[in-house]
Amino acid sequence: MGVFTGLLLLPLAPVRGVGWVSQVLLETAEKEMYDPAVLRARLAELHRALDDGEIDAARFEAEEERLLDELERRTPRRHSAAHESGDVR
């Protein structure tokens, strides 16, 4: 980037900075929200709420299914595709 281009784009620096900060915040929030440890903690809290009578069984089942689906998507598989297909030597 030349000096002239840098001077022309200087007024946009705050906008680019805000865009970068919001992208970093979004990525961090998504990591924390979908972290398997956080999802397991939310499942434990959901079970506690059901045991304490704070939520009914229908809401528990719907939320539990959503959390388990998300946990399954976020947890890496431990077996390779070859192992699952039975091609292991």
Rounded to an integer, what distance in angstroms lies between the CA atom of residue 81 and that of residue 88? 10
pTM, 2 dp? 0.53
Q: What is the pLDDT of residue 44?
A: 96
pLDDT at 89 over 50: no
pLDDT tens digit sequence for 5-60: 877 888 878 888 888 899 999 888 888 777 888 889 999 999 999 999 999 999 99
Question: What are residue 52's phi and psi, to 5 degrees?
Answer: -85, 0
